Structures are given as C-alpha cells and as structure tokens.
C-alpha cells in the first residue's frame, strides 16, 4: 500500500477538514537467528523489513479514540474507561494497550482518529503486532511533543503486549521495529539492551521469507507455556551456578550442569536457548567474514533445535525447510518467529532465487496442500514520520 491509499481511506472513515492528518510508518521484522532467546535474556539478530504498518492520525476534539483499519472490518470509538477496563478485543488491543500505557504515565491524550493500514502478512511471524504497537507509540510521542527516547517507547510497547494483550513476549520485536535501519542487522543483548548494528551484506545471496500460510492460532498459550518451562529449567540450573536467566550459561557450563534438570522436556528447552545464543554469536562472525556457507549451516542447526528441543515448529515449516535442502543455490533455511506456523527465512544465491521459489512452491503445495507466499527481504525501511496533510484534503 502507499500513503495515497491511506489518505483516501482516512477521508472515507473520518471525512475531510479539521486538524492536520499526520502519517507514520513502522516496519515489520524478520529474525535471522536467535529464536525464543529474547525473553530468556539472550541474543538475537533481527533485521527490519520494507513491509510494515501505516498510520494516519488526527486530533478530533471529541472525547473518544476512534480506531479503524484498512485490513480489518471491526473498529470503533473507544472511551478512556473502556480502554482502562480492557474491554477491547481483536487487533484493537494493540493500539489500545499503547494508549493505556500513556495513560499510566499521566499523559492527557486528546480525542484522536486513527486509521491503520499495512502489508505485513497477518499471522506470519513478521511482527505485525509489534509494528502496530510501535507506530502507535511513535505517533503519540511525536504528535503530543513528549520527546521520549526510543528505548522508553520500546519498553512501554513490550509492557503493553505482556500485560494488556497477554502475550509474554521478550523485547526483540519492539526493539527491531524501532531501531532497525536500512541494510543493517541488529545484534542485540536482550538483558542489557546493548546492541551493535551489523552490516547485513549477504554478497551474491539474498534472504527470502516464505510464508507457510499455516494459521498460528495456538501461539499465545504455547508461547507462554515455553516461557514457564524455561523459568523452571533455570530454577534447577541455579543449584549449580547462580544466573539471572538461561542465557547466563555457556554451552560448556550447560553440559556440566544439565544433570540438575530432572525433567527431559525442561532439559531440552534449556538446551535450545543456550545453544541458540551460541549460534547467534557464530552467525555474527559469519556475517563479518562474508561466509554464506557457515551462516546457512547455522540456520539449519537452529531449525533442528527449534523443531526437536523447543518444539515450536510444525509440519508445514518442516516441509519448507526440508525441501529447501534440495534446491540449488540454497545455503540454509529455518523457521523464524514464534513458530506453530508463520514463515521460514532462507539464504539463497540471488541468481537461483526465481528457480528456488518455483520449485519450493510446487513441492510445498504437493506435500502440504497450501500455496506459499514469498517475500525477498528488503531492509530499506525504518520507523519514521512520512508527512503532514493539512485538513486531510
């Protein structure tokens, strides 16, 4: 979509005239490696992408918060008491959660009209929710002249998703959306929020996101269960060495202490987190050395760990990864995002990308009965204000 489509939609829902209409954009993200490590205090390596969320906002002068979407039919006017009492459902919980965070900070928000639009495939694991949250927080911060730093907006957005939406996510998604920059990956320590911007130059290879078109309806309950399992595993490992989270253990330390975990499921959860952290470091090194082969090997290793130890893959994602192995020019592939559906990310030679997509589409449809979607990764966008439209004319 583009800004013209957003402006025309705003006129349709809210009419012309009145205060100026402000336009904003927040990207989605794809995580190259480091899955389910963020809420365990670990390391991640995401990049922001060109797909994202657009938002048009106008101060209305009415004592309500009108939320509409070009993607969803439901929407309506929310009141402050309604937001505070969490009477919201569906996609509106994400912007409502941000509004609630601003209320908690004592911000007096005037009545506003907000129209959301976007082109992130819904339920794909490309952080459409974090994109909505961050574009809302960024817009309110700018519109109200608050001048809060990006880190505060990131923390507010994560808190909203944890406590308002009810998803116990880590900080990675909101951080990647807010701090991503063109042609760079974010090497982030999720415990300290220290990060390094790493060149995401894949040379003569390209990253392709493949949407499995598998619904992720069970993600929230299973995601929260994994977090609880990690906390239980940590409790046992602490008997051998104190640590704030699972990422406080090296792979060597884990091998020495793993006998303290009496439950096989908990052991496998911890093993994934600790080995995945190690893979993030090795992937950063591979990026710096321009080693596509090594990067691809680590992608496959990550998927196996997510499939077998963390058990967040599914048949459809496994098929996509398995079939990629037989495609010429492919270095590696893995599921990306929370799992239970969504997308894979694959590193493939640029000149082999068209053949890869054709072959994978045919084989995936034959085995899974679904038509995949393909999105070559373009990390050309960032969180930004796009324009101000006087009277939305």
What is the C-alpha separation between 286 and 280, in angstroms, rounded? Answer: 10
pLDDT for residue 203: 87
173 in catalytic set: yes
What is the C-alpha separation between 250 and 239, in angstroms, rounded? Answer: 16
161-198 burial code (b ≥16 CB/10 A, e <16): beebbebbbbbbbbbbbbbbbeebbbbbbbbeeebeeb
pLDDT for residue 32: 96
CB 175 within 8 A of CB 262: no
pLDDT for residue 216: 67
pLDDT for residue 197: 94
Q: What is the chain's pLDDT, residue by residue, as a tens digit (393 residues)?
A: 788 999 999 999 999 888 999 999 999 999 999 999 999 999 999 999 999 999 999 999 888 999 999 998 888 999 999 999 998 889 999 999 999 999 999 999 999 999 999 998 776 778 899 999 999 999 999 999 999 999 999 999 999 999 999 888 889 999 999 999 998 999 999 999 999 999 988 889 999 999 999 876 545 678 889 999 999 999 999 999 999 999 999 999 999 999 999 999 999 999 999 999 999 999 999 999 999 999 999 999 999 999 999 999 999 999 999 999 999 999 999 999 888 888 999 999 999 999 999 999 999 999 999 999 999 888 889 999 999 999 766
pLDDT for residue 255: 98
Strand order in the sheet with 112-118: 76-78, 65-69, 112-118, 46-59, 21-31, 384-389
Strand order in the sheet with 373-376: 330-336, 343-349, 205-211, 373-376
CATH of domain 3-30+50-180+381-392: 3.30.230.10
What is the C-alpha separation between 98 and 200, in angstroms, rounded? Answer: 31
Strand order in the sheet with 184-189: 43-44, 184-189, 195-199
36: helix, coil or strand? coil
What does each C-alpha distance from 55 to 41, 137, 268, 330 come to in angstroms?
31, 11, 41, 37
Q: What residue segments make up the domains of the chain, in order of their start?
A: 3-30+50-180+381-392, 205-376
How many CB atoms lie under 10 A from the CB of residue 111?
A: 16
pLDDT for residue 158: 96
Yes or no: is domain 205-376 CATH 3.65.10.10? Answer: no
pLDDT for residue 393: 60
220-259 burial code (b ≥16 CB/10 A, e <16): beebeebbebbeebbebbeebeeeebbbbbeeeebeebbe
Which is catalytic among the residues 74, 108, 173, 378?
173
How many CB atoms lie under 10 A from the CB of residue 358?
A: 12
Torsion sign across C-alpha atoms 227, 232, 233, 234 = positive
Q: What is the pTM of this model?
A: 0.91
199: tokens are 């060149």
Q: Exposed, middle or buried: residue 73 (CB in 10 Å: 0-12, 13-18, 19+)?
A: exposed
Within this chain, domains 3-30+50-180+381-392 and 205-376 share the same CATH topology: no
């Amino acid at each position: 979509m583009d800004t013209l489509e957003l402006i025309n939609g705003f006129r349709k829902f809210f009419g012309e005239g009145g205060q100026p209409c402000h336009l904003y954009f927040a990207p989605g993200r794809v995580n190259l490696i480091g899955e389910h490590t963020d809420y365990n205090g670990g390391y991640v390596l995401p990049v922001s992408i060109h797909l994202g969320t657009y938002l048009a906002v106008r101060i209305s002068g009415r004592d309500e918060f009108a939320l509409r979407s070009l993607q969803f039919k439901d929407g309506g006017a929310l009141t402050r008491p309604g937001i505070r009492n969490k009477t919201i459902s569906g996609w509106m919980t994400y912007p409502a959660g941000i509004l609630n965070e601003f209320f908690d900070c004592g911000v007096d928000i005037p009545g506003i009209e907000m129209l959301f639009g976007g082109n992130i495939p819904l339920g794909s694991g490309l952080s459409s929710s974090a994109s909505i949250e961050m574009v809302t927080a960024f817009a309110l911060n700018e519109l109200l002249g608050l001048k809060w730093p990006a880190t505060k907006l990131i923390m507010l957005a994560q808190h909203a998703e944890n406590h308002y939406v009810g998803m116990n996510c880590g900080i990675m998604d909101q951080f990647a959306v807010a701090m991503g920059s063109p042609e760079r990956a974010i090497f982030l320590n999720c415990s300290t929020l220290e990060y390094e911007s790493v060149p995401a130059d894949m040379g003569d290879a390209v990253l392709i996101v493949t949407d499995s078109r598998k619904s992720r309806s069970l993600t929230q309950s299973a995601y929260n269960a994994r977090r609880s399992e990690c906390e239980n595993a940590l409790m046992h490992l602490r008997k051998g060495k104190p640590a704030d989270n699972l990422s406080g253990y090296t792979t060597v330390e884990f091998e020495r202490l793993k006998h303290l975990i009496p439950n096989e499921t908990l052991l496998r959860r911890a093993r994934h987190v600790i080995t995945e952290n190690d893979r993030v470091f090795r992937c950063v090194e591979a990026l710096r050395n321009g080693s596509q082969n090594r990067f691809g090997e680590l992608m496959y290793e990550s998927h196996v760990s997510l499939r077998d130890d963390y058990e967040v893959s599914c048949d459809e994602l496994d098929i996509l990864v398995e079939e990629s192995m037989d495609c010429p020019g492919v270095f590696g592939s893995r599921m990306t995002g929370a799992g239970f559906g969504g997308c894979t990310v694959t590193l493939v030679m640029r000149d082999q990308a068209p053949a890869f997509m054709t072959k994978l589409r045919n084989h995936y449809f034959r085995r899974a009965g679904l038509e995949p979607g393909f999105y070559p990764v373009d990390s050309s966008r960032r969180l930004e204000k796009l324009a101000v439209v006087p009277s939305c004319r």
